[in-house]
Amino acid sequence: MFYKFADLCDVPPIAMYNEHCTIPDDLRTFINLELVVLPLDQIDPTNEDGQESNDARAQGTDKNNISGIKSSLLSKGCDTSYVPPMVGRQKNSKGLYPLYEGFSRISAYNAIGQNQIVVLMGDIPPQYDIEDLKDEIGLGCNDHMQSKRATHSDYAKRLAKFITRGQDVKREDCTKWFDGIKHSLTDKNIEKIVSDVYDLKYSAETMVSYDTSTRAIKKVAQLSDAKSEDVRVWNNKTGASFENMMRSVMEYYEEWNAPPKVYGYLNRTSAEDAYDERVKMMKRITKFNETFRSIIKDANKVQKDGGVFDMIPLEGFIPQMIGENKETEIIKPDGM
């Protein structure tokens, strides 16, 4: 429900928020919540150095997002169905109310010259601190108008801070950290973020890194009697994928009628996880080799009976040529 400002001193009645807005009642790090009207100049969106800084987000406060909010405020007014900016009840050393969430909106309000606004005021429980609060509401409460949802980089930035300020943080602690934040991330998204932050951090501290397959191949050549051109490598994360390695093996076999020498290496993996990751890679290779042997067995059987075995049986092509292909019929290889 939008409330159109009559003038720069106008604010939506708190009753409109009570009627249209669902105030969160399940926050861990922000309690004793109360809707109040505050002068805008009593709200402090700055850090200790006096800089406007939303360090819950990877790129800070987004100027394009501010512009979108400003346009919405001028054309439509304030949407009272969304939670207003959040501030602390205890004033800071500057005698101002610290802003916890709503940095872009505060910037937009300042840009249009608004004098006062409705905020959600609350306290941080003693068992939590400001960093815990930034994790929960800075990432999980971006549901206001023209909001920019937390990105992969935002979560990565806050997770890195969580690891830094903790003691003996384990990988499972990182995964559990997401449970305290409202998000729509899939398990795969979370795994990717944890991998990018935790695995990268601890792999750099405990493992020699090979950032390219070329470097890995050179290392293999140094440690063995294999020539670089005969070596194929793959890792457990990104870049030199299993699929790329298999394609390269097939191309090598096509040219030389023999398999190359294949080696694995770990990427973004800490020493504590190295053994398990190597086992996973071995199991994948073993399973593929078993499957390939089954294919060879089938091929020998078919050819022994006088048939021709195709590992990749091409059935045809989808019709695509306008005016030339019948859209209702698959194009057979022998009909091309």
pLDDT tens for each residue of 58-67: 444 567 778 8
Name the residue with higher pLDDT: 172 or 38.
38
pLDDT of 62: 62
Q: Cα 243–272–268 angle (5° rounding)?
A: 40
pLDDT of 201: 81
What share of the chain has pLDDT > 90, as a percent? Answer: 51
Residues 86-97: tens digit of each pLDDT: 999 999 999 999
pLDDT of 114: 94
pLDDT of 144: 41
Residues 313-323: tens digit of each pLDDT: 888 988 877 77
Task: End-to-end CA distance of the chain: give it in Å, rounded.
Answer: 62
Radius of gyration of the chain (CA): 29
The CATH label, of 3.40.50.2300, 3.40.1260.10, 3.90.1530.10, 2.120.10.30, for the domain at 2-146 is 3.90.1530.10
For residue 143, the number of C-alpha atoms closer than 13 Å in the C-beta half-sphere is 14
pLDDT of 247: 93
Judge whether 308 and 302 are in contact, CB under 8 Å: yes
DSSP string across 11-78: ---HHHHHHH-------SS-EEEEEEEEEGGGEE-B-TTS-B--TTSTT-S-HHHHHHHHHHHHHT-E
* Tokens 């990749």 found at: 312
The partner residues of 264 in beta bridges, in order of sequence, read: 234
Answer whether residue 258 shows pLDDT above 50: yes
**Mean of the pLDDT values across residues 288-312?**
92
Name the residue with higher pLDDT: 251 or 63.
251
**Mean of the pLDDT values across residues 196-214?**
83
Quick one: the chain helix, strand, coil %, rounded to 5? 45, 15, 40
Please state, in angstroms and rounded to a whole number, the distance separating the CA atoms of residues 150 and 59.
11
Question: Exposure string (b/e) for 30-62, b if CB count within 10 Å is 16 or more?
Answer: beebebeebebeebbbeeeeeeeebebbeeebb
Q: What does pLDDT average to over the chain?
A: 87
Number of neighbours of residue 69 by Cβ within 10 angstroms: 24
Range from 27-41, 77-91, 140-154 carrying the lowest mean pLDDT: 140-154
**Mean of the pLDDT values across residues 163-175?**
87
Q: 279: alpha, beta or left, given left = phi > 0 and alpha = psi -120 to 50?
A: alpha
pLDDT of 268: 82
Answer whether residue 116 shows pLDDT above 90: yes
Answer whether residue 50 shows pLDDT above 80: no
pLDDT of 324: 74
Judge whether 232 and 249 are in contact, CB under 8 Å: yes
Question: Which residue in 131, 140, 134, 153 sits closest to 179, CA to CA?
Answer: 140
**Which residues 6+ apart lie within 8 Å of 140 measured at CB?**
150, 181, 182, 183
pLDDT of 146: 45
Please state, in angstroms and rounded to a whole number, the distance separating the CA atoms of residues 168 and 129.
19
For residue 69, the number of C-alpha atoms closer than 13 Å in the C-beta half-sphere is 28
For 113, the token pair is 């010259």
Answer whether residue 49 shows pLDDT above 60: no
Answer whether residue 34 shows pLDDT above 80: yes
Please state, in angstroms and rounded to a whole number, the distance separating the CA atoms of residues 320 and 335.
15
